[in-house]
Amino acid sequence: MSAAEGPLVVGVDTSTQSTKALVVDAATGQVVASGQAPHTVSSGAGRESDPRQWWDALCQALRQCGDAAHEAAAVSIGGQQHGLVTLDERGEPVRPALLWNDVRSAPQARRLIEELGGPKAWAERTGSVPGPSFTVTKWAWLAENEPEAVRATRAVRLPHDYLTERLTGQGSTDRGDASGTGWWASGTEAYDEETLAHVGLDPAMLPRVVRPGEVAGTVRDSHDLPFSKGTLVAPGTGDNAAAALGLGLRPGAPVLSLGTSGTVYAVSRRRPADPTGTVAGFADAHGDWLPLACTLNCTLAVDRVAALLGLDREAVEPTGVTLLPYLDGERTPNLPGASGLLHGLRHDTTAGQLLQAAYDGAVHSLLGALDLVLDADADRSVPLLLIGGGARGRAWQETVRRLSGRAVQVPEARELVALGAAAQAAGLLTGEDPAAVARRWNTAAGPVLDAVERDDETLERIAGVLSDAAPLLERSTENR
């Protein structure tokens, strides 16, 4: 390990499929050690993981970091949003966590919207219209389908809350992750009593919401992690809010994140409230807002199509075929029960054309929400920041450029969620805004790909197929 100029901090990203840990020099942003360990997700109708896997993976990842982790002065956890973690009186999971991409609660989401005033009332109260990804719908599903699990539950947490509590022994969360539950009111920045009462959730079972810049706690000594007792623990946050910190985002800079899910977001000074439900009005992790649109099908869906075709993921060819890659249902557009749809297949259609159609379908969903995410006065000429697992893929880059007509910047920094968590931990030590820490680290630096002429023909073709197929896709949702 090279000599560090400043104190060391640890940033963690507990994502859907793995946990990553970075040890970072708080003065320079240099990553001095890293580790990663996988966890599993169930297949079939639901998407579930045992939270204890996340803890075991965190332990493994930190052990891979060696002595550097033990020297850290502060730590912060960034994690997958929305997941429902239910704990018993001993703090042990009652059942596996229901993850963000478990859409079995779609019927409960529709009922909750109707029962509590409709979409506009939800958007005004919580900033978002809850879809089946939101935690409140998962709690309603659990109460309806597994009442014995609800009766055994003494504490309700989000994924990053669970790990933070294992470190500190205290239940805490932050405004960024809390804003994705559906039971946190963005107007008052507090838990919404009416919503909690309606779904039968005792607010005493929820964690304390720690403010930006506040210390969530200190590392306790009754565990086997390689941290010193008393190490500061930051509030942590959800993965998208952590990535926004990791990029040092200023208001109006648009981000496309290409991961298992795809997201479009930007920091805003204005509290969002979209009654259509396309844009989730999340809070960010340092006092502003993070309007965001999310798709369930992004890199994983495209990779699945490539695997079915026996192709490398870069083996694309120009296409006139339309493929809506809704393999896990879809959130944007809101079609939780839909499946993939292919239109325009001919005798001479090639596998590479089908693969390009999958890319086009995935990117079309993201770009369709971009104008809704950005404030009306946002500068549309600035490059799109392309991050996530797909960001360095040539086919992803070229598809985003062609369908957006905008320049694209690909930050060289990797693991932006963990870097954002590290910046949050560093901010505890220096008193800085974590986004300012990340800007000092120059995390967003990277090549800029020039804009090309927008492919309006493809955009219109996909929009036309989506419109024509709406009755079929909606029928699939109703029958799910």
Q: Is 239 a catalytic residue?
A: yes
- Among residues 169, 103, 171, 162, the alpha carbon closest in space to that of 138 is found at 103
Q: CA 49 from chain center: how many Å?
A: 16
- DSSP character for 204? G
Report how far residue 386's alpha carbon sits from residue 103's, in angstroms, rounded to the nearest whole number.
27
Residues contacting 78, CB < 8 A, separation 6+: 11, 12, 13, 14, 160, 236, 237, 238, 239, 241, 242, 243, 417, 418, 420, 421, 424
Catalytic residue among 174, 239, 274, 284: 239
Report how far residue 80's alpha carbon sits from residue 201's, in angstroms, rounded to the nearest whole number.
22
Whole-number Cα distances in Å, 389 to 41, 49, 262, 290, 468: 18, 21, 10, 21, 32
Report how far residue 419's alpha carbon sits from residue 442's, in angstroms, rounded to the nearest whole number.
11
Report how far residue 405's alpha carbon sits from residue 441's, in angstroms, rounded to the nearest whole number.
30
Return the half-sphere exposure (C-beta side, CA atoms, 13 A cut-off) of residue 475: 5
Convert 126-141 to b/e letters by CB count within 10 Å (16 or more is b).
bbbbbbbbbbbbbbbb
- Work out whether the CA dihedral 208, 212, 214, 218 comes out positive or negative: positive
Q: CA 234 from chain center: how many Å?
A: 19
Residues contacting 23, CB < 8 A, separation 6+: 8, 9, 10, 31, 32, 33, 34, 65, 68, 69, 72
- Among residues 81, 4, 36, 37, the alpha carbon closest in space to that of 296 is found at 81
Which helix (H) or strand (E) is 78 found in, with range? Answer: strand 74-79
Burial of 467 (0-12, 13-18, 19+ CB in 10 A): exposed
Convert 366-404 to b/e letters by CB count within 10 Å (16 or more is b).
bbbbbeebbbeebeeeebbbbbbbbbebebbbbbbbbbb
Whole-number Cα distances in Å, 273 to 222, 255, 278: 43, 19, 10
Q: Which residues are known to be catalytic? A: 239
